[in-house]
Structure 1
């Protein structure tokens, strides 16, 4: 059925016919796109025009006007109908009757309606008072009635807008900035608002308004296509949800992708991000031009008076060869010849970032259109300019985005295409892969004084996640890509080896520090073997911190920094020739011995809490050092079930375990009995820590069986908020080979949840294993916990027994 057939069906059957025709168009028509939106707008136009002329005589001097999105013909399946009933004020009663005849059928069909009834003078006055009303009227479109009345209003509103542009455009820009602060940037959000987020449909509409002012105009290349893509996604979202929503929630993304004929949700998000990036960049350029024009208007009269009426030439300050500053932007010098100077894009970008100035749109486009490719390997100047650009701090981001908007980045680094606009589906990462790489370089620029080779640090920051565009382990894939890229941009063989090592092992320090026993010499040796030299270790330490800081707030803390610094210190000592000692049973401290003797004397647990609030000196970059947690010492007469009991009590009290060690303690001569000592670091999930007396009382009850921990945690789990439609990946339990000579290291990766450590501890207890220590790492919703376990005799598990334990533990966690 064609759109004409649908419209004829609607005309034949009145309101019910319109509803049926509308449903048929949305369910049996083409996929989301401009033709369907146009057909829906035309269908609605015809229906409303029929309502306008039906029944009683239409009053003279009245017209029906579509405004806002409906005025632009951008009707999504659940869009509001933005309507203005315009009249000359001669017959208020007739206008009121006409309004009833129009509005009630719309409401009866359950359609959202944003309506107003005004005279032209009232409409102009309201527009002058309310910027959003004025923006809606800029897209006014005549539907029915007195066309001259509509045309007169439209002409007057456009004239008002152009006359008031110097005042109203700054107001509009402020609205855009406030909205961006509330909603975030569309190109980085996992659940973006297609309309309100920065780079969304609201910003595209704002650019239309700027163009209508005749004061400035947006870069038009790709802008219409970006707007169309976002509208297509919104259409599919409305059909998938049956609601008037602009929020692209996780649980709807697969269905929306299928509606659009896309491969999967990642492909959908990538298209959304690409569209948002086009709109965001156009917004940046446009608002910069608006500011320039407004400043020049304010300054020009004074300059003309000073110069006797002459027009001053803009000042041009040289920044680098072929690069100058003009009017707050970086432009190409008049003598610049991009077609003869392949290094010019990098030189201009580095100069702009160093000066903290934007690259002009004209300059970037001229470079993209005329510059020759760099030879392979790059000349030394090109490599140096890239390093300068990466080391310029926060201004690097805006300059990089300008180069990327015109395709220059992928021409310089073809491997960039695979990570461009690539989403990262976890709560820890706040950026897409490509933006994360640039943010890591920005963070690394703060650490260049800490390393001997800042160029290698900055380039490794740019490349460390470059393998995320390929299947498999991104670190392994990234190592291969990094070797190729480093050689192409002119590093020698030794530097290429260092860069590939940094990319291959960029997660080594943080994963080892948070998941392995640093007292175990095998841990330190494994890192030293992978790193190979003091210089590489120094670079890897800085890269680790930069990477974590650029990931998001959940990825770095004073506690993580202290663990990494401790590991680096131990590995550095080993590389310097200082062999680590084999771990011995450390002599108990006076406090530990006191707790142990009291536990034996009373036959019950004894515990102490001690806050640790100072950040370590090894982490000087930490701003406002956060508490490292609270040290919890527990001495318990040796018995079964200690680990699950302690983990369960802490979970009931909403305490997060960061590190944990459990060992049998040798008592002083003359003291009979056996005591287990638990030295754990914990932090309160909410509020303040509970009193030690309450923890002890509940621990006593947990050990004697009178406290039903499993039941308490099950009640909380039932009330634990879960996002509808989101299914967590299944848990995975593995044995880390050769991680320790003294214990078997079992690594558990699972969705973090209250009582997870309790369930793991109970399962290990049921297998008759002893837990020597455990190392807890939580990133967002994911927990990665490592358990150093032995059999009852205190030795590592045989291979087959370890494999059996991991299978059973995984089955327990899946249940």
Structure 2
């Protein structure tokens, strides 16, 4: 039955596609035919004036490009070689055009006059770049085009800077075509005017011209504009809501939603290409010494495993393993964390040459996705690049259903897919507020994944989210949490704004729903609270406000109080049997096995941060760490999982040798780290939330428990441990986890007498010391 339904849907889609193609072919043929007819008629008008060979009629603008739609203006230049009677010739030419009821933009120029106007009037120059001979003196028209192009290229830096300023002002005024319900097809960002600007930039030879996909997007938008003019009978470029259905029918599309979806896809293709172009142009305009150093070698700086920065973009490192299915996500996460765009050619190559991810995903792929999303707004540009290359749908097939899906609702600013990415980017600022930032970010990305499918999108999306989570390799309990988050992502805002919060039944109902996953109710609650904020802020200004925020905060506080009895047991950090056995090893034991580093030595202060420092010296990033003291053996056990910051792993023998030298006090860890830090260039990156240090009260009777939340970076654990040691404290247990780009670290510390800290001043000094180290 399912196969029959799928087959019917496929046939319907094919029929709709055929109708759309036929309608577009008809519009293109009509445009071409009308253009040929106009050209012949205008040439005959010029001939009838008896102007002779020193006068030429030239089409510029949309007519010059051969893109004249029914409502478009004729844009003509009457070019001459200094004729005294040119005014009479012009009158005999223009009046028949006006008598025919055509809209006309006209000018009369000598060659020198045309060049002077183009030199001072950017819009005139852009029109003349597409000058096309219609009749009269062909050589004169060729001279005009050659002269205008030569001037344009000789002044490329100044003219492109002007064009960039004009373009960005237009974007700010008109908005983004892909996300507007009533867009201007020509002037909005991602519209026809942007393709014309790309063509103008290409005419300077500074940048390549629009590629095949951009040209196809341009043609689609031009067809929609043509259909709009025919349908309305007006020279309008704004597609207002009341015209959606009629324009869709004239194009052979099912409805206005299908029309908007086609426009969205075309507009995003143009916008992506335009963003890449203007980044390139900005670098060209800013670098006045580029020509002088054109032969100089451009520095390539590593930004992640398999990725380097090259001329302001992230490209593949030499020797990057294209057979690795995780490479696209690894490069994407490195680009986002560095605050740089991936080079379009790099993304296309990743899409073409890397294999799909296995199922379930390896942990590294899941971690890279979370790191990408955790970059906040920087992730949006990178995600768009992956999407344009088809990598997102390849990784998440369910994304196809929401991709470019418009939300014909003035409250929503974005299409469904962009809303999901914007929500995840907003949630990145709240990762300090939840125990599992990875589940918050993935939940934000998937919360509306059910839109466009039959039924309630929350219920449908919850099923999809669970399937996706399992495919991503999340543990069963984590997949259940994500399913619950997607199912109830509207629970808090709907309840807070529509129910009586003083009614105990209201609080009890919410508590029961968030507790669907046993023992994880508070975790789900805090994720839903953060998601409610990120979702509303990504929706639009009308969806969020101080009143709504206060109601949700009040509801969360009440529900959390109801769930407080289900908190996890205190002192829950216990060693494994393997670690206990190692703790009883005679003397010092050091084991390096792949990414796992384990040390068991007689307990003494500073072991944690000195070991972390050695790992940092070998360019290893700590992903997890478990530290405890075995009191019966007088031994400390440190168990790390550490992966290379980038490149190949260090030599295990060399790492083990340095660890043993550190244990024997024959390695100046601090000095070597300081020298390396002084030699390193400051790395750009994305803005991140400030670190948070919390003393967790009543979590242990034997130690003070300190939780540190911070953006991960090389040497982070070294700095935290050093700050704890500087306060004269010893770490008896530690649980260190890196979830995406977020470090979630818990330390059990005692003073020199082996007791928890009770002095308020000492606790404050500890907290401030760690914060200072992290800054």
| Counterpart-to-counterpart distance in 2, 1:145 and 1:299 | 43
| Alpha-carbon contact 2:284-2:290 (below 8 Å) kept | no
| Counterpart-to-counterpart distance in 1, 2:45 and 2:249 | 37
Please tell me whether residue 51 in structure 1 is matched to residue 34 in structure 2.
no
Please tell me whether residue 560 in structure 1 is matched to residue 551 in structure 2.
no
| Counterpart-to-counterpart distance in 2, 1:379 and 1:362 | 26
Deviation for aligned residue 1:556: 0.7
Match of 1:571 among 543, 559, 563: 559
Deviation for aligned residue 1:57: 2.4
Deviation for aligned residue 1:30: 7.9
| Alpha-carbon contact 1:32-1:233 (below 8 Å) kept | no
Partner of 2:78: 85
SS of match in other structure, 1:160: helix
Match of 1:330 among 290, 300, 314: 314
| Alpha-carbon contact 1:514-1:563 (below 8 Å) kept | yes
Deviation for aligned residue 1:521: 1.9
| Alpha-carbon contact 1:548-1:555 (below 8 Å) kept | yes
SS of match in other structure, 2:398: helix
| Counterpart-to-counterpart distance in 2, 1:288 and 1:518 | 51
Please tell me whether residue 40 in structure 1 is matched to residue 34 in structure 2.
yes
| Alpha-carbon contact 1:218-1:285 (below 8 Å) kept | no
Deviation for aligned residue 1:208: 0.7
Partner of 2:394: 411
Deviation for aligned residue 1:32: 5.1
| Alpha-carbon contact 1:507-1:544 (below 8 Å) kept | yes
SS of match in other structure, 1:444: helix
The Cα offsets for residues 614-644 of structure 1, whole Å up to 9 and x where unpaired, read as xxxxxxxxxxxxxxxxxxxxxxxxxxxxxxx
The Cα offsets for residues 443-494 of structure 1, whole Å up to 9 and x where unpaired, read as 1001000000000000000000011131221111101110111111110110
The Cα offsets for residues 404-461 of structure 1, whole Å up to 9 and x where unpaired, read as 1111111111111111111111111101111111110111001000000000000000
Q: How many residues align?
A: 540
| Counterpart-to-counterpart distance in 2, 1:297 and 1:408 | 37
Please tell me whether residue 123 in structure 1 is matched to residue 114 in structure 2.
yes
Please tell me whether residue 69 in structure 1 is matched to residue 53 in structure 2.
no
| Alpha-carbon contact 2:24-2:223 (below 8 Å) kept | no
| Alpha-carbon contact 1:65-1:86 (below 8 Å) kept | yes
Partner of 2:337: 354
Aligned ranges 1:158-557 → 2 under 5 Å: 158-218=149-209, 220-295=211-286, 298-299=289-290, 301=292, 311-338=295-322, 340-532=323-515, 533-557=521-545
The Cα offsets for residues 335-354 of structure 1, whole Å up to 9 and x where unpaired, read as 1121x211111011100110
| Alpha-carbon contact 1:32-1:260 (below 8 Å) kept | no
| Counterpart-to-counterpart distance in 2, 1:29 and 1:537 | 51
- After superposition, the Cα gap between the structure-2 partners of 1:206 and 1:298, relative to the gap in structure 1 and judged at 3 Å, is same
Deviation for aligned residue 1:574: 2.0
Deviation for aligned residue 1:101: 1.8
| Counterpart-to-counterpart distance in 2, 1:343 and 1:336 | 11
SS of match in other structure, 2:133: strand
| Counterpart-to-counterpart distance in 1, 2:139 and 2:313 | 46
| Alpha-carbon contact 2:64-2:132 (below 8 Å) kept | yes
| Alpha-carbon contact 1:218-1:283 (below 8 Å) kept | no
| Alpha-carbon contact 1:84-1:116 (below 8 Å) kept | yes
| Alpha-carbon contact 2:194-2:274 (below 8 Å) kept | yes
| Alpha-carbon contact 1:377-1:490 (below 8 Å) kept | yes
Q: Relative contact order (alpha carbons < 8 A, sep ≥ 6): 1 or 2 greater?
A: 2
| Alpha-carbon contact 2:23-2:252 (below 8 Å) kept | no
Match of 2:134 among 108, 128, 143: 143
Deviation for aligned residue 1:312: 2.6
| Alpha-carbon contact 2:27-2:227 (below 8 Å) kept | no
Deviation for aligned residue 1:378: 0.3
SS of match in other structure, 1:469: coil
The Cα offsets for residues 571-606 of structure 1, whole Å up to 9 and x where unpaired, read as 12222359xxxxxxxxxxxxxxxxxxxxxxxxxxxx
- After superposition, the Cα gap between the structure-2 partners of 1:336 and 1:577, relative to the gap in structure 1 and judged at 3 Å, is closer
| Counterpart-to-counterpart distance in 1, 2:445 and 2:27 | 37
Aligned ranges 1:733-744 → 2 under 5 Å: none
| Alpha-carbon contact 2:76-2:106 (below 8 Å) kept | yes
Q: TM-score, normalised by structure 1?
A: 0.65
| Counterpart-to-counterpart distance in 1, 2:393 and 2:33 | 39
- After superposition, the Cα gap between the structure-2 partners of 1:554 and 1:30, relative to the gap in structure 1 and judged at 3 Å, is closer
Deviation for aligned residue 1:63: 1.0
Deviation for aligned residue 1:150: 0.6
SS of match in other structure, 1:466: coil
| Counterpart-to-counterpart distance in 2, 1:577 and 1:470 | 39
Deviation for aligned residue 1:545: 0.9
| Alpha-carbon contact 2:56-2:78 (below 8 Å) kept | yes
| Counterpart-to-counterpart distance in 2, 1:433 and 1:141 | 43
| Alpha-carbon contact 2:60-2:77 (below 8 Å) kept | yes
| Alpha-carbon contact 1:29-1:36 (below 8 Å) kept | no
Deviation for aligned residue 1:361: 1.3
| Alpha-carbon contact 2:264-2:404 (below 8 Å) kept | yes
Note the aligned Cα RMSD (angstroms): 1.6
Deviation for aligned residue 1:58: 2.2
Partner of 1:17: none
| Alpha-carbon contact 1:33-1:231 (below 8 Å) kept | no
The Cα offsets for residues 348-395 of structure 1, whole Å up to 9 and x where unpaired, read as 110011010110112111101100111000000000000000010111
Deviation for aligned residue 1:118: 0.7
SS of match in other structure, 1:194: coil
Deviation for aligned residue 1:60: 3.8
SS of match in other structure, 2:332: helix
| Alpha-carbon contact 2:157-2:284 (below 8 Å) kept | no
Partner of 1:714: none
Deviation for aligned residue 1:183: 0.4
| Alpha-carbon contact 2:158-2:285 (below 8 Å) kept | no
| Counterpart-to-counterpart distance in 2, 1:62 and 1:445 | 64
| Counterpart-to-counterpart distance in 2, 1:181 and 1:566 | 38
| Counterpart-to-counterpart distance in 1, 2:209 and 2:505 | 60
The Cα offsets for residues 310-334 of structure 1, whole Å up to 9 and x where unpaired, read as x432111112221111111111011
| Counterpart-to-counterpart distance in 1, 2:506 and 2:25 | 56
| Counterpart-to-counterpart distance in 2, 1:279 and 1:531 | 43
SS of match in other structure, 1:86: strand
SS of match in other structure, 2:208: coil
| Counterpart-to-counterpart distance in 1, 2:212 and 2:281 | 19
The Cα offsets for residues 706-764 of structure 1, whole Å up to 9 and x where unpaired, read as xxxxxxxxxxxxxxxxxxxxxxxxxxxxxxxxxxxxxxxxxxxxxxxxxxxxxxxxxxx
The Cα offsets for residues 219-272 of structure 1, whole Å up to 9 and x where unpaired, read as 513111101000000001001111100001000010000000001101101111
Q: Can you give the 5+ residue segments of structure 2 that lack an aligned partner in the other structure?
A: 1-21, 516-520, 567-775
- After superposition, the Cα gap between the structure-2 partners of 1:147 and 1:297, relative to the gap in structure 1 and judged at 3 Å, is same
Aligned ranges 1:656-805 → 2 under 5 Å: none
| Alpha-carbon contact 2:163-2:197 (below 8 Å) kept | yes
| Counterpart-to-counterpart distance in 2, 1:297 and 1:519 | 67
